[in-house]
A and B are shown apart, each in its own frame.
Chain A
Amino acid sequence: MITGAGASGTLTADFLSVAESCAPDGSPKYAKRPVMEWLAKVIVGSGGGANKDTPLFELCHLIHTVNCFLGKADIAKERLTFFIGVEKASPSVYRDWFLSKNALSGKVEEHITVDEKGLNLEYPDGKFSIHYGRIPFLAALHEFLCIMDQCSFYEQFNELFDTLSASDNQKCDVTFRKIQDASNSLSSSLRRYRRSNMPQAQHDEKSGKLLHFLKERAMKAAEEVAGKQGKERNEIEAERQSPQPLDVISVDDKTILGFWLTHSYLEEFRVYRAVFDNFVTLIKSLETAEVGRNIEHASVIGTDREKHEVDPDDEAASFADYGEWQSPLEVFDQEPAARVKFFKQKSERQPIELLMKYGPYARRLPLAFLRLETFGQIQAGISNDLRLKRSQGDLRDRMTCRDAATYLEIQVQLKKINEHVRQLQLAALYALRKNKHQRIQQDGNVVSLFDDPLQSEFDAARGRDFSNQIDEEELEETIGDAQRAFGSFTRAGFTEEQLEDEGHLEAFRIGAGALIEVGAQLQHFLSSISRVVRHDSLLEEKFKKDQEIFSNQFHTIYGVSP
């Protein structure tokens, strides 16, 4: 499929053109995750943390640094080679570039220092640091800025970038303030681009429908409560109009199913997964608005929800905490973690892909998520059947949902993978601990792998209480478990010889952090299911009911008689 027509088409086409950039071996120049996903957020103005234009500011610092290392005569050409000419945008490529330039060049400006981790800049009016790990992201942003609107900003931006260096034979006079001004100028162009290429109207209609549905449900719930209290509808309406207790909208598992059942006749809400995604998007948006409001009016801590008091309970944690949630599985696709086969694609990774993608949202909407995992798959199959013009018989058969994985089966599978993750954590503990001991023996020097003691990190990951005083006996037992776990893996990356290699150890070091996230997410989700459905038989019952609901709805949506 070719993308390109229309305002929104320009945005997608420009974005995809960066994604399509290739290294000479044909592999993508920029990693899909996390680089391209990050870029998507920055482009639309929803990334960058507190200030959405922070990445532009970082990019200007980087451009200034690159300019300082280049010959002044060919600055534009060499800068283009730095950003566009590299084979693959990886931290090591950029680190090597800066270290070699630094070693060769005596002319680097005094205010820049280059080390193994990154670049440090000291301006007369401020300081800034850039880690090499950040540069692939900034290079992708640079490429997007250059290509946007068929390169119509290229000249303008490059003239601006040229100003971020010293004039000929002059001492560098670039200041922190000048970097800010350049960043503001980029920001203003990007805003203009957004205004032309990101039409909001098409999404307004969608969010309007979702919010209307939530309000109607809130009203209905209020009516039911009021009915019991003997209030009339106009009293409820009056109460709703005033900033009173009834002004609360809620999203839960039932809401999502209810919305799909009543709106799947509309093209944009036909697919259950699309509805789930839309609600997650809405939750994120409501949360952002809530954060804004909370800044204006700090909430009162308490348990009276009708008075908008906030319960400081863990489960009521703000979704803003998850604003930047990213699947921890992404780590395993990138160097150095990719050197070790932590997960087998089909049996150990694929079943948790969606759970890790939705992370905290899956945890807060456990049944809605289980429906997505189970019946979402069935609906994807139906769409495929229709696309391939399969027979009515095949369709009818698929719509019975008899092939759907049951909630219990999913639960069992997740428990199994959770145990696998626990074994991986132990194996990583063994790998890192062994290396630590080797280092002590070799040079009597202990290199801290984590901020906390290694054992404590893993105890935390496994949900145990830990303290700085570790029980020696328990420690021995864990180390024994760790060694056995490491030895039990007969797959790439789990050999004693490989542990001698520093790059390989780095894979375990990075992988260990992601394993902690994966384990915690699995644990939380399994607990959420148990909280909603306290017994396995009830989970089975829930599945049977849903199977009937989804089967009926599929028949209705696609006009196939049972």
Chain B
Amino acid sequence: MIDFKMPDDRELERIQEEFSKNSWVDILTSSLEENRRSDTISLSTLYAYLTSYSGVDEALELKVRSSPHLRKLYRKIVDQTASYRLPEAMAASSGDFPVRHGSGCIIRMEASRAEPDQIYVIIEITGDVDLAPTSMFVCEEDQTCMRFEVPEIKDGIIQLIFDRQSKLVELMMNPKTEVFLK
């Protein structure tokens, strides 16, 4: 038998507070045992996603886009870990494509001669090709970033082809966006 002195009102308040805390510990620890999943993204998961060649995870990208704080953090990690940073482009004259210059890297765009509805995005690595990127992140002013996987580098050039109406072309046409390669 375990005996306790009958609590007075002041003690009762404290007991209830303690009971609540202990119950919360139980809820949290039992959530580990049950097959429950969080609807948020762990920082480690986000970091691993952004620093490894993992392909685009649409579900994760969607979750990030729905939270302003996560968007900001996503952009911050991309910025901190990128091999090449290409800031805002010089505004192009009408009909031209903007060109972006970064340290060791240039990105330009060209319309396909064979398929006028398609646009080439050409990434030219002018510095150390050992730092060949595998992913491209295009970030808008509101911190929203989109990730695109890029093909293998050949003779210092990475070439991608997209529809004129595609999201990437739309983003690249906007001189206010920033591009990060890693």
Contact = CB atoms under 8 A, between A and B. Distances in A.
B6 A215 contact: yes
Q: Looking at chain B, what size class is its interface with the partner chain?
A: 35 or more
A40 B69 contact: no
A290 B7 CA distance: 9
A135 to B, nearest CB: 15
Interface in A271-285: 277, 281-285
A16 B15 contact: no
Rank and list the top 9 A-B pairs by shortest CB-CB distance, nearest first. Answer: A4-B39, A21-B44, A16-B38, A285-B18, A40-B28, A247-B6, A203-B20, A207-B19, A77-B80
A37 B14 CA distance: 23
A230 interface: no
A538 interface: no
A17 B38 CA distance: 5
Interface in B63-83: 67, 69-70, 72-73, 77, 80-81
Contacts of B41: 17
A247 B5 CA distance: 6
Interface stretch (B29-37, B87-95, B150-158, B169-177): B29-37
B112 interface: no
A550 B7 CA distance: 32
Contacts of A349: none
Interface stretch (B45-53, B118-126, B130-138): B45-53
Nearest to A155: B72
A486 B118 CA distance: 73
Given A12-B27, A45-B21, A289-B14, A20 B42 contact: yes
Interface stretch (A143-151, A175-183, A488-496, A553-561): A143-151
Interface string A233-253: 000000010000001111110
Interface of B: 1-7, 11-12, 14-29, 31-32, 34-45, 47-48, 51-52, 67, 69-70, 72-73, 77, 80-81
B40 A13 contact: yes
Q: Looking at chain A, what size class is its interface with the partner chain?
A: 35 or more
A53 interface: no
A29 interface: yes
Given A154-B69, A200-B17, A37 B3 contact: no
Nearest to B24: A44
B38 A13 contact: yes
A287 B28 CA distance: 22
A23 to B, nearest CB: 9
Given A250-B4, A285-B16, 17 more contacts: A2-B38, A3-B36, A18-B42, A20-B42, A22-B45, A24-B52, A40-B28, A46-B21, A198-B21, A204-B19, A211-B15, A285-B22, A287-B4, A288-B14, A289-B18, A290-B4, A364-B2
A201 to B, nearest CB: 9
A549 interface: no
Contacts of A150: 40, 67, 69-70
Interface string A73-109: 0101100100011000000000000000000000000
B102 to A, nearest CB: 18
Interface string A217-238: 0100000000000000000000
Contacts of A80: 47, 77, 80
A10 to B, nearest CB: 8
Contacts of A198: 20-21, 24
Interface string A198-217: 10100110111001000100
B70 A250 contact: no
